[in-house]
Structure 1
Amino acid sequence: MDYRPLNIDDAEQFLKFNIEMGKSGYMLYAPGERKMSVEEQQQLIHKITEDPASNLLIGEEEGGITGFIMMKGNELERNRHSAYFALGVKEESRGQGIGKELLRQAFKWAREKGVSRLELTVRKDNKTAIHMYKQMGFKIEGEKVHSLKIGGEYLNEYYMYKLLK
């Protein structure tokens, strides 16, 4: 397994990966909702990679993307010590340590950037992800009530955080 920054040349493959990830039901986009061209994906990748407070890394195996982590930092003095991130791993690749390694890569990036607080949200019913985040040192900070509406049902998310030393 290789871990590396996403680049513009990965746009088409990353777009397909994200569409597939949407089918899991755990990502923000609903299945079929992500309607983006390759060019729009390239622009988004460019925007993220050019932002010194953000980063997007992928896990890759045999030329295929298996997972990603996007870190979005802040530029303001009062909150530049914190970054929000989103993580996703293909269903067939889960349980192989990809998510944990992507988190380790994010921790390394955060320390290099002077980020000491990592934040995320996760669906309250995503027990596997919550367990992994807790194993990696994250704590539940609060609950975001009725934050998502899926299939007519409201779902809650947890706010989670980790303080880096």
Structure 2
Amino acid sequence: MSIQVCAPALVIRNGCCNDVHHMLPLMRQLRYPTTPSVLKERLSMVEGHPFLSSLVAELDGVVVGTMFLKQYQTHDMKKPVTRVTALIVDEKYRGIGIGKRLVLEAEAWGRERGSSDLVLSTARDSNFTAKTFYEHMGFISSGYRMSKSLIQG
């Protein structure tokens, strides 16, 4: 007698405009205020762009995570870098390796395009779970992120 075990199938693929309604709840978990039309516009901008990428993690056909990437190079860089501009795994699916697979895919994407580093900023200083995850993935914390609003209000 043999026992069959069906493991869930995790697929990492490029995101597309048809993913809007699946990605919207994830973006809200990230506390990213957006609407379906704005997210669809952003996804259409990313599709086919050589320096931007949207990745989606599907577990048995259900979108459970997403990541956005941007490659750039400034005047003082010898090589471009790839920035993770957003990474979110659905709260119900955290801790089972989905975020790790997304980061590994981001590393491969950046390497294919000649990036020297994968960089990111965490959303809040108090987000210790994210910081711990990124450190576990080999990221090193350096410097401070500073910003200044250019909108007069």
Partners in 2 of 1:131 and 1:46 — Cα distance? 32
Query: Amino acid of the residue matched to residue 73 of structure 1?
Result: Q
Partners of 2:48 and 2:73 lie apart in 1 by 13
In structure 2, what residue type is equivalent to 1:40?
V
Whole-angstrom CA distance in 1 between matches of 2:146 and 2:17: 36
Range that drifts further, 78-87 or 59-68? 78-87
Asked if 2 retains the 8 angstrom alpha-carbon contact of 1:82 and 1:116, the reply is yes
Gaps of 5+ in 2: 1-9, 149-153
The 2-side partners of 1:91 and 1:67 are apart by: 9
Q: Are residue 18 (structure 1) and residue 27 (structure 2) matched?
A: yes
**Contact in 1 for aligned 2:74/2:80 (Cα 8 Å):** no
Partner of 1:64: 62
Give runs of aligned pairs for residues 75-114 of structure 1, distance below 5 A.
78-79=76-77, 81-85=80-84, 86-114=86-114
Query: Which of 3, 8, 30 is 2:17 aligned to?
Result: 8
Identity of aligned residues (%): 28
1:49 matched residue in structure 2:
47
Question: 2:125 matched to which residue of 1?
Answer: 124
Counterpart Cα distance in 2 of 1:10 and 1:68: 10
Query: Match of 1:73?
Result: 71
- The answer for the alignment partner of 1:151 in structure 2 is none
Q: The residue matched to 2:25 in structure 1 has which SS?
A: helix
Higher deviation after alignment, 72-81 or 45-54: 72-81
Task: Give, in whole Å, the separation in 2 of the partners of 1:105 and 1:63.
Answer: 18
Q: What is the CA deviation profile of residues 114-144 of structure 1, one whole-angstrom value per residue up to 9, with x for unaligned ones?
A: 0112211112222222112111111001233
2:24 maps to amino acid: L
* Distance change (3 Å), C-alpha of 1:75 and 1:143: closer
User: Residue 150 of structure 1 corresponds to which residue in structure 2?
Assistant: none
Matched-pair contact (CA < 8 Å) for 1:81–1:115: yes
The question of whether the paired residues in 2 share the 8 Å contact of 1:59 and 1:65 is answered with yes
Aligned length: 136
TM-score (norm 1): 0.72
Structure having the higher strand fraction is: 1
Mark the runs of 5 or more structure 1 residues left unpaired by the alignment. 148-165
- The two structures, once aligned, show a CA RMSD in angstroms of 2.3
Shift of 1:42: 1.9
